[in-house]
Structure 1
Amino acid sequence: MACPIKHHVEARDASHLYRKLKKTKLYCVRINHPEWQGLERKRVRTNVASLSLSKIFFAAGKKVVSVADVFNDGNHRQMTTDSDSSPGRKLWEHTADFNDEDTTKWVPQGITSTADALDAGTYEAINGWIDTYRHALLVYPHASDNFREVPVHAGGIMWYGNTLWVLDTYNGIRVFDLTNIWQVGSGDDVGKVFSGVYSAAGYKYVIPQIRWYKWSSSFKFRHSYMALDRTTTPDSLIVGEYQTSTSDPIRLVRYELDYTTRRLKTDSSGVSKAVWAYCVNIERMQGAVSANGKFYLLRSNGASKGDLWVWVPGAAAKKNAGFYPRSPEDLSYDKRNGRRLYTVTEAEGVRYIINSPVNSVSF
């Protein structure tokens, strides 16, 4: 089955283009109008409250720890299972005392790796493909001496250098500081308990937000998934939308990154505009990643296995039916080691981290 993703429509503005789409039912569209490219940087500097809180943690004898410290302090263990189609897939811990496979307290959504972080496969001398893990809490420093949890769906994530990027569905992208992870005390509350004492609902570590690229256009864009592309010059970021029907546009956009600052490139007014955008009529897309001019598009199918669509702009997309187990979410690409695709599945009881060779994909 193929989807033609190659049509082009001209329009005088974004609303006119949308009306033309609705009228013609043509949704595989190249979008060039700047109104469709309005991801604005709300905070352009390091969060002052984050810096103040770091000083408090240092001064009070609390710990500011590294990523390696958290890796080495894993308190849960994954199992490795094999299948003919996906050897080496990993399952979350499932024991009598702790069950990440079936819990409803959290649902796997995004995936990123040390290959994204530094294009090296290791970070602070730690290999990211390990069997132990620990949950950490994302927090927003809202005062010079306090923080609160970040209530987002986190449909997509990206590790880029010393930063962790997390999608906020209709509000843009939040960025968190991996050089400034705080170890807190035990307790059910999130934030300051009293002077010098902090807790995080049972989590041992919290990661503070330092930046927010906030969506600023008049129309909505659903930030559902994202992935890093290290094969472009400069590095770039793909963000896409999940929709259950093609009656609404399903868009992919690309933003350029500055690897020296680990930020989006912006214009003189501080606005980051997409350098490329497409409207793709593949419903239920849960992830997309590009590499070497090719796109890998992931679709969920309810209780059935997920599909992997592949596409080269200017040609028709091809479906690899049932390529993944049910409920796949998000994609990440590793150009090392013969090139790999990583994904994570969300359905209770079948929550995997999957490592697939790119040469197993049919174009």
Structure 2
Amino acid sequence: MRLPFHSVAIGIALVTFVTALDPANCNTAEKSRTGSDFKLTEQADNQYLAPLAKIFSDAGKVVKVADVFNDANHKLSTNSQGWKVWPTNFNDQGTEKWTPQGITSTADALDAGTYEGKDGWLVSWYQKTPLKSVRITFVDRSNDEYRHVMLVRPNAKDDFTTVPIHAGGIMWYGNTLWVVDTDNGIRVFDMTNIWQVDTDGEGVGKMSGGGYSAATYKYVIPQIRWYKWTSPFRFRHSFMALDRTTTPDSLIVGEYTNGSEPTPPPIRFVRYELDYTTRKLKTDSNKVAKAVWAYCVNIDNMQGAVSADAKFYISTSNGKTKDGDMYGWAPGKGAYNNKGFLPRGPEDVSYDKRGGGWVYSVTEHPGYRYIWKTKASSVKFS
């Protein structure tokens, strides 16, 4: 959006000078920003993916999404509030090693709501030590059984390595899985190339004695491409979500800050258009994707947000001891705070249009880890 800067009369003509609002500054009364200032540049597909995929294909070690769901080895329970609870016997509930962050579902993957006959969630977890990496959990909603899978990046024609990012938000779109990379943009992974590896190795990649390992995980999903942040100002890719209610489909990316910085950084949402035929961002001839909408939100502690039917569902955290809040917001109106609406430690948010609309989230704190869901209609708006 452009606002009048000043006007000067020259003879009988009126010349109006306008200036675009700074996309890196949200300390203005007007909160809209010019979407095209927010740029992601599509990088070339990973050159090592094809030769690596051939190795696994020749060995008969390429599996389908449904195969992973059907090979579950752990199970969630359900509490009295209907939330799905990570188990304590395997200790996904209390582990300090892994932290859940992002959530997406088969309702994101395909408009029909199922994928290869499966109805399920994917949840991202990040690990800081001993090996900074990301795993994805495939949860079968028909029986609450699940299995963890590791994300990897091909780094040679016959090898792969870990993906050392925070994975604060994820989006399943067709045969691709999208994961935010905080300061660098978005990474995309190939759901048609899920590889089965040896499970007895602690390392990640090609083993000296032959074969491949992934820190004892049975399956890996390789990175296929990267959308690199190329605007001259910083933007924190903290979380993301798919919006299937726009034409074309679109992607929302948002920023987190806890409000403790001496100079508060901007907090913004941006929207990019998607091409469902290629499962890529819409780009120009230079492979640059420019946002079609941007807005200063200025809500501290945002952990996730999803838009559907021109409404935003925004999760915010209140520390480790208090329940989280959910803001209901429609652009141009005030945001309504549904206080204590979420369990403590809410993170990413996803939307499922089936059954009148559902909102999903996942919580992160040990001892309070759930997959949470609610009817979209239960969220209040101003």
TM-score > 0.5, shorter chain as reference: yes
Aligned-partner Cα distance in 2 for 1:8–1:299: 31
Report whether the alignment pairs 1:349 with 2:349.
no
Distance 1:201 1:309 in 2: 39
**Could you tell me which residue of structure 2 aligns to residue 316 of structure 1?**
334
Distance 1:311 1:7 in 2: 23
Instruction: Name structure 1 gaps, 5 residues minimum.
Output: 1-5
1:264 lines up with 2:281 in the alignment: yes
Task: Count residues with an aligned counterpart.
Answer: 343
1:193 to 200, 204, 207: 207
Q: Could you tell me how far 1:121 is from its partner in structure 2? A: 2.4
Aligned mate of 1:121, from 104, 113, 118: 113
Structure 1 segments of 4 or more deviating over 2 A? Answer: 6-14, 16-19, 25-28
Does the 8 Å CA contact 2:150/2:214 hold for their aligned counterparts? yes
For 1:48, give the aligned amino acid.
Q
1:133 to 1:314, Cα distance in 2 relative to 1, 3 A: same
Larger RCO (CA under 8 A, 6+ residues apart): 1
Q: 1:6-38, CA deviations, whole angstroms, 9 ceiling, x for partnerless residues?
A: 997977467x5646x5xxx4376111163x311
SS at match of 2:264: coil
Distance in 1 between residues matched to 2:301 and 2:187, nearest whole Å: 24
Which digits, 9 at most, give the CA deviation of each residue in 1:196-229, with x for residues without a partner?
5111110100000001001112211100000000
For 1:74, which of 56, 61, 72 is the aligned residue? 72
Q: Partner of 1:65 in structure 2? A: 63
TM-score norm. by structure 2 comes to: 0.86
Aligned with residue 242 of structure 1, among 244, 249, 256: 256
1:94 aligns with 2:93: no
Identity of aligned pairs, percent?
60
**Which residue of structure 1 lines up, in the alignment, with residue 149 of structure 2?**
136
Residue 3 of structure 1 corresponds to which residue in structure 2? Answer: none
CA distance, structure 1, for counterparts of residue 359 and residue 246 of structure 2: 17
State the distance in 2 between where 1:278 and 1:196 align.
51
Amino acid at match of 2:34: N
Q: How does 1:167-182 map to 2 (within 5 A)?
A: 167-182=180-195
- C-alpha distance in structure 2 between counterparts of 1:256 and 1:116, whole Å: 15
Cα-Cα RMSD: 2.0
Q: Indicate whether 1:276 and 2:293 are aligned.
A: yes
**Structure 2 segments unaligned to the other structure (5+ residues):** 6-17, 121-140
Q: Structure 1 pair 18/152, CA: closer, same or farther in 2 (3 Å)?
A: closer
Contact 2:33/2:296, CA 8 A, preserved across alignment:
yes
- Whether the aligned pair in 1 keeps the contact of 2:35 and 2:294 (CA below 8 Å) is no
1:289 counterpart residue number: 306
Give 1:160's match in structure 2, choosing from 173, 190, 200: 173
* C-alpha distance in 1 between matches for 2:38 and 2:358: 30
Q: Is the CA contact (8 Å cut-off) linking 2:35 and 2:292 kept in structure 1? A: no
Write the distance in 2 (CA, Å) between the matches of 1:58 and 1:38.
36
Mark the CA change 1:318 to 1:262 in structure 2 (over 3 Å): closer, same or farther: same
What one-letter code is carried by the residue in structure 2 that aligns with 1:205? Answer: Y
